[in-house]
Chain A
Amino acid sequence: MTRVTTFTASPDTLLPTELNNIQDDAEELLEQRHILHEFSSSGINTTQDRYVGLPNQNHTITASVAEVLFANCWFWYDPAQWKTSLLPVRKPRLMLRAVYHRGSTTAGTSISVGLRRIQNAGGSTAAGLPRVTDSVTFTALTFSPSDASGTVKTTTAFDMSGEIAGPYAVRLIVTGTHSGLSWNLQGQVLAWTQE
């Protein structure tokens, strides 16, 4: 066990700096980011609209209503699990980060990837698969086809303190013509707590 300082009965050993260091240590713990969700998707000359998870766990969305075929396309998030009880209030945060790779062609329209809260859309047939749709949309990342391979983009830190517990997902949208464009996108949803 490594302490900032081990205090003894001698009052001379207690310095304001040491108490501040203890609090800074606690804050560091809160601000460490955890990976809540990972996703990867790729395309060649394709338009896409998918909830994305780990490789081969994407699912195409039709008219904003999807059949949920693969569980890892979504994840559960409860902001209450990322709060502390004391002042100053630290807010539960989520952030989306993705890296873009492409082939030599740079034609086509942008590639958008964003965090969504999803909800049950109902309407599945008996013995059919559950269907979901977007509930809340957060600001997305946008990659231009001409972005260099290895370009990393990050959203701002979303303040999730006003959000509710529930299923969340990452939605990838590629529209328009992509003549010869091949691309790959990999990313993460990160969770932490910060003032």
Chain B
Amino acid sequence: MARTKTFANSGSLLPADLNLMDTDVEDILTQWRPYHRAGAMMITHQDYTNKFTYFASTTTGGVVFTDKIVIPGLFGPSGVFRIDPNDFAGRKRRCRIAVSYINNSTAHPNHIMSFGLYPVTYGTAGGADSIPTIVTTSAMGGSTARLVAPVANGVGRVTSGEFPLPQKGDYMFGVMVTGPNENGNINVNIELETRAASS
């Protein structure tokens, strides 16, 4: 067990000792830790001007982009996950989106990929045998991580700024892509990370 100092009845307690202990605890509480992850192969060698897709947590193969931020049919893994602030006792929590990527050998000089955390609502089912629908509108404020013009054979990670732990509800990861066909295919992992707010 690693202590900054092991105390005994020796009169060795100094203010600096208490400050070190406090700093230690602060370090631990404020480290970013993984909360939820999803990933997929983004096939971007098409015209993706203002296209959107979401990420199912067990997506196999490429994701499918749509023209609008409405998921028309939910059949198979949805990628929706629950966030409940009651899971975190104590201090307020902070969040960020972290996107790691491995690109193919084609640069994307004109692509901007904006990944974000999207709140989800559930649409009304249609007639018999209809597929359930989930709906999202826009990314949570502050949750956008932008991957701008990834280079050929690029490997890296981009993060959003910090944003507060969202209110209780269902969420999923999504990305809005702008740009023309650039023969690029990029493999991404998206993570929601959380930590305690600095005191």
Interface centre among B23, B27, B187, by most A CB within 10 Å? B187
Q: Please, how many angstroms separate the alpha-carbon atoms of A123 and B185 in the complex? A: 13
Q: Please, how many angstroms separate the alpha-carbon atoms of A70 and B188 in the complex? A: 9
Task: Assess whether B39 is in contact with A130, with CB atoms less than 8 Å apart.
Answer: no
Task: Assess whether B3 is in contact with A24, with CB atoms less than 8 Å apart.
Answer: yes
Residues of B close to A74: CB separation below 8 A: 102, 187, 189
Interface size class of A (residues with CB under 8 A): 35 or more
Closest to A1 in B: B90
Q: Of residues 33 to 79 in B, which have CB atoms within 8 Å of A's CB atoms?
A: 33-34, 37-41, 45, 58-61
Tell whether A71 pairs with B183 under 8 Å between CB atoms, given A16-B9, A20-B7, A23-B4: no
Among the stretches A49-57, A136-144, A170-178, the one at the interface with B is: A49-57
Closest to A17 in B: B7
From B7, B21, B38, B89, give the contact of A26 (CB < 8 A). B21
Mask of B6-18 contacts with A, CB within 8 angstroms, 1/0 = 1111000100010
Residues of A close to B102: CB separation below 8 A: 68, 74, 120, 130, 132, 167
Q: Please, how many angstroms separate the alpha-carbon atoms of A85 and B25 in the complex? A: 11
Rounded to whole Å, the gap between the CB of B42 and the closest CB of chain A is 9
Tell whether A68 pairs with B21 under 8 Å between CB atoms, given A55-B58, A124-B105, A130-B104: no
Point out residues on A near B: beta carbons under 8 Å: 1, 14, 16, 19-20, 22-24, 26-27, 29-30, 34, 36, 54-57, 68-72, 74-76, 78, 81-82, 84-88, 90, 119-120, 122-132, 165-167, 194-195
- Identify 23 residue pairs between A and B in the complex whose beta-carbon atoms are under 8 Å apart, listed by A's number: A16-B13, A54-B58, A55-B58, A56-B60, A68-B41, A69-B41, A69-B61, A70-B60, A70-B61, A71-B38, A72-B39, A74-B187, A75-B100, A76-B100, A76-B191, A84-B27, A86-B4, A88-B2, A120-B102, A122-B105, A127-B104, A129-B187, A167-B155
* Additional 13 contacts, C-beta under 8 A, given A20-B6, A72-B38, A123-B105: A22-B21, A22-B25, A23-B3, A23-B4, A26-B21, A26-B28, A57-B58, A70-B39, A71-B41, A86-B24, A90-B2, A124-B185, A127-B104
